[in-house]
Amino acid sequence: MKHTSLVAFLAMIFFISHQSSAQERHTVNGYVKDAENGEELIGATVLVKELGTGTVTNVYGFYAVSIPPGTYTFQFSYIGYQTIEQTFDLKENVEFNIELPVEAQQMDELIITDEAIDANVSDIKMSKNELDIKQVKKLPALFGEPDIIKTIQLLPGVISAGEGTSSFFVRGGSADQNLILIDEAPIYDPSHLFGLFSVFNADVIKDSELYRGGIPSRYGGRLSSILEVRTKDGNNKRLGGSAGLGLLASRFMLEGPIKKDKSSFIVSGRRSYVDVFLKATNQDNLVHFYDVNAKVNWKHNNNNRFFLALYLGRDVFSFEDVFGFDWGNTTGTFRWNHLYNDRLFSNTSIIASHFDYKLALEDDAQGFDWKSNLHELTLKQDFNYFLNTSNEFEFGYHVTYRQFSPGRISPTSESSLFAERAIDKMYALDHAFYVGNQQKVSDRLTFRYGLRLSVFQNIGKQDVFIYEDPKDNIDPTRIDTVSYGAFENIKTYVNLEPRFSARYLLNANSSVKLSYNRMVQNTHLISSGTVPIPFNTWSPSNPYLEPQIADQVAAGYFRNIKDNSIELSAEVYYKDIQNVTDFADNAQLFFNEDLTTEYRQGNSWSYGLELMAQKKEGRFTGFVSYTLSKTERDVPGVNNDNPFLANYDRRHALNLVGTYDLSDQWQFGANLSYSSGRPITVPAGRYQYDNYQVDYITERNGYALPDFHKLDLSATYIPKKNKDRKWQSSWVFSVYNIYSRKNAFTIYTRLKELDDDVYSDEKEAVKISLFPILPSVTYNIKF
Amino acid sequence: MKRYIIAILAMAVLASCEETVQLDLKETEPVVIIDGLVSDQFKNQYVKVSRSVDFYAEGTSKAITNATVSVTDGTTTYNYIHNPTPDPENDGLYFSEVRFAGEVGKTYELTVQVDGATYTAEDSLYPVTAIDSLTFIINDDEFEEPEREGYYYEMLFYAHEPQETEDFYLFKFYRNDTLVLDSPTDIYFSNDDLLAEEINGIPTASFYKMGDTGTVEMYSISNAGFIYYNDLINLLQSDGGMFGSPPVNPRTNVKGGALGFFQASSVVSETIKVEE
């Protein structure tokens, strides 16, 4: 069955290539860029007016159109930029780079002159959102710190576990099923301060997009979504920068040409200074985080372009110089874009990602130091082949080497009670071969189809324990140990992941789209909480942990109204996950050498309806999103084998997000969120054991937290620019949770306290809410 | 444990608020709770049998007074009788008819019959290492800012952990014969997975004043006991499943649908007085 589909697919490719060679064609290719700073524009539209067809720039800003000889008018357009037309008398291949100037600030409602069909309707992509970082910055933010992840949590199909968290849940997937990439490098924990902020510094972000369905074959490795964040390349025209002073953190960014139009750099830093306040109040408890982003590029010519991007971030907590912990991500990406010929675009990337955490206690008797880390190194070779205006191929090979060190504990003093211990490291090699094609079948119908072959290997060096009963987590009995040498194969899993999308244009302003994708995940988060914490570890698939497999179908109706100024979409989806990784009730996930006995895999299913209305241009911009969804799990060995609602199941989620530009000086933003409470486990009864009053639990996630809602407002003031000054300042005033609703973060139980340290035998339930009304102000400068 | 993360989060943002809420809970079928210990001390051993109550019920577990309770070590069976004294404080407590001491190496099996249902549990009695010594030191932080006037002595504990055996320990600390806990949800227990041989002055719970006596009781527990206490503390300190796992009943060695634990232990204890 798998083989037949592969053969059919290869036959289709052959057929298309054969057909295409029949006619002489020339190619126009190049990069579409922002005229102001030379940044490539991703997803810019290139329309050949005579043919009524065209393409969009790829993720590197590159386009190529192959057409028969003739005279053509090309139209280059991108939202927020002026549309430019260029005529070619095509007799040979043409290399044409174009820079689009930013649209003049229009204070009146924008008049759309252009009749081009908007991407919302015409693009084959569905279940995908791009975030405009400029808009994110205008929106109200917690502590005035703009954060794309907090905005992502407002998108349709995306659920948040609670305010102040940086995890998000896409179409019934858990937080670890999102592949979060910064310049192609995965981020294993996107949180600062346990999720109050994400690791993404808004000053360096150029573009970010979230796929929650219809995922192209070039992406893989996680089940539920791809969040791709791309940082700026750095202005290659002039030296500039920005700085911001916020309530909790300050930021600085500098960018500029190394060689004008050829090479540029960007470097940026952000640091929190809660610790400075704490120090001022004579507290020895120190908390801070920082981020550093740096990137250089060298665009030698259109045929060879090189990029090097680095990210480094860390959180550091220290309590009275005795106890402390820290965690952080480090990533590096080297990228080479190369044109083998006018139609074959290649991207070669070498990507490294590292995550680690450390806990330390300074004490003579109990001093210890606990370290855990995860490294990975990836080689990616991607090709885009722009066959003709009807077919755009992509194919490639990715290989990733991963090393997991779940934990090593070492004594930090001679008299420490701790012995030196470490849990075996684990290693994995992950190969992926993929092919895909976007095929324009007719003016109305476009397909995108692809296949990804995932070959995963759990490799040595490792000692694999064989258990009498691999699910006995009370008294695990090892009957044998099999030793594997370095790079020796322990277990291989091969999976074929078909991907398919179709778009049918009903008319110039409406379309229907359909997609199916299978995703496979071989990297599993070891956490049984709702929100991952940095101290969670990861594990590769192994003899005891099978790959998680998700199948998702989605269908949608897309329509633009009012001259494309308002984009509407309605999507329904159904997602089924096999082998969803969960853990036994009472699983011991920290420093457990027999962790494999805690694994429980089962099924998860989710379905939902997602509605969105978005206005991207004009004085007023914003969106309304509504998600109706349900997510359940059925995992043998969990919740007495009964199905249960996923921790992050929320029936309804409604978000209203808007910004309004009143004048050149004043801009306003608002965000209203409502969602039904997520499920939580509460006691049904209570009993005494020894001196303890213990909750009696009858079912998991059987109680709903109160509904969540809040309203945030912001105002940005941009003082009139002083012509003698080279810099422009702005003030962002933000009020978070303006009516100060005490939204439930979680509920736990405790003994009633009768007097200081005197407790009753009776218990009470306590709701924790994190943020009351929180005003903040941020001062920014740009130069 | 995970509740601390919320506390840290709250500290980091200098915000957060706790308030009591009334959960809208249905009535629940009560469950039988068993809490028993066979120690190596020669005495009337006890088993407590009770029923859970609704979360918002007054008081605590309801005593079961009509159960049939016995413990056997495979050769001798000890019958237990309900509250022999009788003392209303001891309702639900069953004591062995005769005094006996548990023996290291033996496995004790408990049988409890309640209203036609039978619950059984077994636990093995392991040896426990000796307490080498106890000392008091002045805790500098408490000395400077004592939470309770005069209470700034901290009791330290010394022992040798036998490295060749797999051991599990439960500790109880007493100040002038009253059990002390730093927090009412604390349980002091350990396995020896990460322990080195020398236990050199581990601080114990609470603080003492001049003239107080401090006592440490150290119990051997089985692997099942360790698992029970580990699950129990996770439940007692659950954050509701936000960062930690959702609350769930501890894994018990009691079979037949009851909760609680039946424990067999060797016990050693040491006492020391705070003196000039």
pLDDT digits (tens, 9 = 90+) for A179-221: 999 999 999 999 998 888 899 998 899 989 999 999 999 999 9
Question: Same domain for A218 and A274?
Answer: no
A229-266 core/surface letters (b: 16 or more CB in 10 A; e: else):
bbbbbbbbbeebbbbbebbbbbbbbbbbbeeeeebbbb
Question: Does the pLDDT of residue A754 top 50, yes or no?
Answer: yes
Phi/psi zone of residue A406: left (φ > 0), alpha (ψ -120 to 50 degrees), beta?
alpha
Question: Does the pLDDT of residue A731 top 80, yes or no?
Answer: yes
Q: Which residue of B has its CA nearest to A696?
A: B249
Do the Cβ atoms of A449 and A5 come closer than 8 Å? no
Question: Would you place residue A113 in the very low, low, confident or very high pLDDT band (cuts 50, 70, 90)?
Answer: very low
Does the CB of B89 have a partner CB in chain A at under 8 Å? no
Of residues A636 and A118, the one with the higher pLDDT is A636
Does the CB of B20 have a partner CB in chain A at under 8 Å? yes
Q: What is the CATH number of the domain that holds A543?
A: 2.40.170.20
On chain B, the residues whose CB falls within 8 A of the CB of A751 are 184-185
Q: How far is CA A174 from CA A193, A528, A545, A635, in A?
A: 20, 11, 17, 14
Pick from B8, B181, B227: CB nearest A474:
B227
**Strand A158-159 to strand A169-170: parallel, antiparallel, or no bridges (unpaired)?**
antiparallel
Pick from B31, B184, B241: CB nearest A681:
B241
In a domain, A634, yes or no: yes
* pLDDT tens-digit map of A383-413: 999 888 888 999 999 999 999 999 898 888 8
Least reliable range by pLDDT among A50-54, A158-162, A515-519, B81-85: A50-54
* pLDDT tens-digit map of B205-217: 999 999 999 999 9
Question: Same domain for A135 and A257?
Answer: no
Q: In this predicted structure, what is the pLDDT of residue A361?
A: 86
Which of these, A709, A159, A682, A747, lies nearest to B242 by C-alpha position? Answer: A747
Q: In this predicted structure, what is the pLDDT of residue B7?
A: 62
Q: In this predicted structure, what is the pLDDT of residue A116?
A: 53
CA–CA separation, A711 and A671 (whole Å):
6
Does the CB of B130 have a partner CB in chain A at under 8 Å? no
CA–CA separation, B175 and B189 (whole Å):
18
* pLDDT tens-digit map of B9-55: 555 555 568 889 999 998 889 999 999 999 999 999 999 999 999 99
* pLDDT tens-digit map of A145-188: 889 999 999 999 999 988 888 899 999 999 999 999 999 999 99
On chain A, the residues whose CB falls within 8 A of the CB of B60 are 686-688, 693, 761-762
pTM of the predicted model over 0.95: no
Location of structure tokens 């920290």: A590
CA–CA separation, A26 and A29 (whole Å):
10
Q: In this predicted structure, what is the pLDDT of residue A280?
A: 64
**How many residues comprise chain A?**
783
Q: Which residue of A has its CA nearest to B250?
A: A586
What is the least distance, in Å, from the CA of B24 to any CA of chain A? 9
Q: In this predicted structure, what is the pLDDT of residue B13?
A: 55
Question: Same domain for A682 and A639?
Answer: yes
In a domain, A110, yes or no: no
In this structure, CATH architecture of domain B131-246+266-273: Sandwich (2.60)
Q: In this predicted structure, what is the pLDDT of residue B15?
A: 57
CA–CA separation, A28 and A17 (whole Å):
19
Do the Cβ atoms of A489 and A526 come closer than 8 Å? no
Q: Has domain B32-124 been given CATH number 2.60.40?
A: yes
B94-132 core/surface letters (b: 16 or more CB in 10 A; e: else):
bbbeeebebeeeeebbbbbbbeeeebbbbbbbbebbebe
* pLDDT tens-digit map of A318-357: 887 788 889 999 999 999 999 998 889 999 999 999 999 9
Can you tell me the mean pLDDT for A249-261? 91
Q: In this predicted structure, what is the pLDDT of residue A343?
A: 87
Question: Same domain for A574 and A656?
Answer: yes
Q: Which residue of A has its CA nearest to B62?
A: A687
Question: Does the pLDDT of residue A380 top 90, yes or no?
Answer: yes
**Strand A98-100 to strand A26-34: parallel, antiparallel, or no bridges (unpaired)?**
parallel
Question: Same domain for A76 and A160?
Answer: no
Q: Where are the domains of chain B?
A: 32-124, 131-246+266-273
Do the Cβ atoms of A222 and A188 come closer than 8 Å? no
Question: Does the pLDDT of residue B1 top 50, yes or no?
Answer: no
* pLDDT tens-digit map of A446-467: 999 999 999 999 999 999 999 9
What is the layout of strands, in order, in the sheet containing A185-186?
Answer: A128-131, A205-211, A225-231, A178-182, A185-186
DSSP class of residue B244 equals S
CA–CA separation, A734 and A710 (whole Å):
14
On chain A, the residues whose CB falls within 8 A of the CB of B59 are 761-762
Question: Would you place residue A109 in the very low, low, confident or very high pLDDT band (cuts 50, 70, 90)?
Answer: very low
Which of these, B199, B197, B141, B183, lies nearest to B4 by C-alpha position? Answer: B183
Name residue B134's beta-bridge partners: B157
In a domain, A173, yes or no: yes
Question: Does the pLDDT of residue A530 top 50, yes or no?
Answer: yes
* pLDDT tens-digit map of A539-563: 999 999 999 999 999 999 999 888 7
* Number of Cβ pairs < 8 A linking chain A and chain B: 251
What is the layout of strands, in order, in the sheet containing B198-203?
Answer: B131-138, B153-160, B198-203
Question: Would you place residue A117 in the very low, low, confident or very high pLDDT band (cuts 50, 70, 90)?
Answer: low
* pLDDT tens-digit map of A573-599: 999 999 999 999 999 888 888 999 999
Q: What is the CATH number of the domain that holds A85?
A: 2.60.40.1120
Does the CB of A463 have a partner CB in chain B at under 8 Å? no
Which of these, A83, A34, A92, A32, lies nearest to A62 by C-alpha position? Answer: A32
Q: Is the preceding peptide bond at A101 cis, omega within 30 degrees of 0?
A: no
In a domain, A35, yes or no: yes
Question: Does the pLDDT of residue A19 top 80, yes or no?
Answer: no
Chosen domain end from A70, A103, A136: A103
Domain count, chain A: 3
CA–CA separation, A135 and B252 (whole Å):
55
DSSP-H helix ranges across B111-222 = 140-144
Question: Same domain for A249 and A177?
Answer: no
Residues of the domain holding A492: 228-782
Question: Same domain for A133 and A53?
Answer: no
In a domain, A116, yes or no: no
CA–CA separation, B177 and A749 (whole Å):
29
Question: Same domain for A203 and A347?
Answer: no
Question: Same domain for A364 and A322?
Answer: yes
Cβ contact, residue pair B261, A689, below 8 Å: yes
- pLDDT mean across residues, chain A: 89
